[in-house]
Structures are given as structure tokens and as C-alpha cells.
Structure 1
Amino acid sequence: MSYLDASEYSQYGLDPAVPDVWVEMASTMIDAHCKRPSLEQTQYVERVRVLPGARTVRLSYLPLAQVVSTRGRFSQARRGEMADVAAVFGIPGTWTAMDTSSLDTFAETGEVNVISTMLGFTFDELEITYTAGWAQVPDAVKHACAQIVRNAVATPALNVKTSKIDTMRVDYFRDSLLDESVRELLAPYVAQKVG
């Protein structure tokens, strides 16, 4: 997956003769730096713990496009809760499918409101299958991709530790390709694991 199309090379300051593999390499570096498989809309499955008394959980990958499915696991009853009623129904520790249309979600923050049952049982853990990412590659990511390619073309042998031509692998001692300007451009797109 390339974040720049060949028709966009000159628009972002690249020579149109730059090999496509350089742009693909830069795109792969962006994905690795952002800690996600792609910045495009991708489906994820994430298990999140629900803290006692919490009403929301936060997902790692943004922006949240759609919640596909959700299931929750009921917690063991805590002191003062209806432990006997929950034990009668045999629900502590079991997974239950949830209606995704009843969830209140916030795309920009990745927050999902946690619901409880009519009897007041709460979920201890949620497994949420969702789609997150951008429908169109943001302009800042395209600029970052072009900058990485320019950095690689300008100093291809600088700080090279090992190199393999047949597999397009280059290991560097320093992060000279992802310089500070690239990191600033990509900062809003790095996935944040919230604990």
C-alpha cells in the first residue's frame, strides 16, 4: 500500500522518476511508526477492560468509523452487588452479544459508552470489532511520505548498517529517514494504547 500515487509525486516535491518501491518503503515505515497496519480504514478486534464504575472505554485506533460487533463479559459480583441474583441466572464470566445500535460512540476520541443490563449487571470486559482509519489519506501523511523518500534519496548510504538488494531491506543506525519534521507530521496518526 502506497500513500502517494505516481501521479502525485511532483505535487509533493518528488521527481516523477523515483521508483515506486521507495514510496512503498516510506509508506511501510509510516505504518510502523504509527503502530498500525494501515492508516486507511481497517478492521480491528480489541478487548478492553471496563474499570469498576466506568461508563466509557477507549479504543486504540482512530478515527472510529464503525462498530461492527460487540460482546461483553459480565463481571463477578462485587461486595454489595446482587451476587445471588447474578448466580441464579448463571451469568458471571459469560460472554453476551450486544446490540451495536445501542452503543454511544465518539469517532474522534474512540470512546464507547458502556451499557449495563436492565438488572444493573455490569460488564467486566468488552470485545469490540470495529473499523477505524481514514477514507482518504490525509495530506500530512502524504507530505511525510514524500519527505521520507527525499531523505532516502538524498543520503541512501548514510548510516547504513546492512543492506540487501533482493528483498529491499535496509537497516540504519539512526532514524535519519524519520526526522523530526516527519515525526511532527505523523504525531496525530500514531495509535495510542489506553490502559
Structure 2
Amino acid sequence: MSQYLELTDTDFVPIGVKLTIPLITRASAIIDGRCRREIGVKSYTERIPLTDQQRGHLSYYPVLEVKEVKGRPKQGLLGNFFGPPGFEIITDTSTIDIDKDIGTVWCGFSPFGSAYAELEVMYTSGWETIPDKVKVVCGLIIGQLAGNPNTNVKSKKDFDYSIEYFGNSMITPEIADLLSEFEHRSFR
């Protein structure tokens, strides 16, 4: 479970709000839900199809480290007579180029000269130190959570027990703008 603030990070929360682990955990979960990923470092194994130009794209970036790459050639030594070939470990990493900032992949040909149809990449992605923007967002959400324990209620009438609700999101336009660069965007 993600926790983007420590109990000592009082600079990121509004004055008068006491940081607690449950508040930090709830706010961090809201951030993960908005971004559709964890901001911290996490390992992924992903199969990516390649274009005819031997290009593809990893889903999560920035890429910190590529641990292993397997490729499935479009054709085996005997063509596809016995079915499509399986995945093979690519030991010559000089044939693979990965732009770690945006996750773009370019791959050369297999040792037998065949183009690859898809790659299976094991890699780590994320930010080793949590960016200040994410900490600010976590503090803003904690301020909302601490100010109103039931954040979805707009108004209550005790006499006839009617309750009017806000929308289903705590993400304000300001928060959405701060998190925009950390959101998961699929390129497929």
C-alpha cells in the first residue's frame, strides 16, 4: 500500500491538520486511483506488440531498469510450419533501445534475421523519491478528508432525513492538473 507522506511531513498539509497513518493511506489510495498506477518504484512484466518498424511502447514510465527481455520472432527457422515460434531470451541487449523517460522501445532482428512480433519485458518503473507535486496533492486531499469525514455529503436535513451528495470524486481541477504528468496513459 502506498504512503506518499510521512508523519513528519507537516509542511504539505494545511495548518491545524494532524497527520495520521489512516489519512495518509486514504489520500495515497485516491492518488493511485486517479493515476491508475503507483508513483513509487514497482516491477512490471509486460508483453508489447511491435510494429513493422520494430517499435513498441511500455505502459509505465519512467523506466528505471530493464531486467529481462524476451522476444517472439514472426517466423521460426522453418517459417510457421510447426506453429508460431515461442519467446526466447534476448541476450544481446545492444539490439534493443529503450527511451527510459517515455517508455518507447525499438528492437533489432532475431539472431536468425527474423523480425520480432512482440516482446516480453520485465522492468521497474516509477520515482525513487516521491515528487513534491505528489506530496502537495496528498496534503490537499488529507486537508479535505480531515475537514469533512464524510466528504461526499453536500447537505443534510435532520428533520426529514434527506441527504444531498456531491459528485463521486475528491479530485479538484487543481489536483488533476498537479497529477497529470503521473497518470498512466496507454499508447495502444
Distance in 1 between the 2:134 and 2:177 partners?
10
- CA shift at 1:101, angstroms? 3.0
Give distance in 1, aligned partners of 2:171 and 2:32. 12
TM (normalized to structure 2)? 0.82
Confirm whether residue 98 of structure 1 aligns to residue 77 of structure 2. Answer: no
Cα deviation 1:34-89 (Å, max 9, x = unaligned)? 111x21111001111112x2232111111000111111111148xxxxxxx54399
Question: Does the aligned pair in 1 maintain the 2:73–2:110 contact within 8 Å?
Answer: no
Match of 1:42 in 2: 42
Listed one character per residue, the Cα deviations across residues 148-174 of structure 1 (whole Å, up to 9, x for unaligned) are 11122223324249xxxxxxxxxx852
For 1:186, the equivalent position in structure 2 comes to 179
Q: Quote the RMSD (CA, aligned, Å).
A: 2.5
- TM-superposed CA distance for 1:120, in Å, is 2.4
Aligned match of 1:112: 105
Provide the rounded CA distance (Å) in 2 between the counterparts of 1:141 and 1:100. 38
Q: CA deviation at 1:127?
A: 0.7
Pairwise CA distance, 1:100? 6.3
1:62-101 map, 5 Å: 62-76=61-75, 86-87=78-79, 92-99=84-91, 101=93
- The letter of the residue matching 1:19 is T
The 4+ residue runs of structure 1 with deviation greater than 6 A are: 88-91
Task: Kindly provide the amino acid, as one letter, of the partner of residue 23 in structure 1.
Answer: I
- Report the CA distance shift for 1:6/1:158 in structure 2 as closer, same or farther (over 3 A): closer
The answer to whether the Cα contact below 8 Å between 2:70 and 2:90 also exists between their aligned partners in 1 is yes
2:134 match: 141
Query: Do the aligned residues in 1 keep the contact of 2:66 with 2:123 (CA within 8 Å)?
Result: yes
TM-score, scaled to structure 1:
0.80
What amino acid is aligned across from residue 41 of structure 1 in structure 2? V
Cα displacement (A) at 1:90: 6.5
Distance 1:17 1:88, change over 3 A: closer
Unaligned residue ranges in structure 1 (runs of 5+) = 78-84, 162-171
Query: Percent identity at matched positions?
Result: 27
* 1:92 to partner: Cα distance: 3.8
Name the SS for the 1:87 alignment partner.
Answer: coil
* Structure 2 CA distance for partners of 1:173 and 1:47, relative to 1, 3 Å: farther
Q: How many residues were matched structurally?
A: 175
Distance across 2 between alignment mates of 1:100 and 1:131 = 20
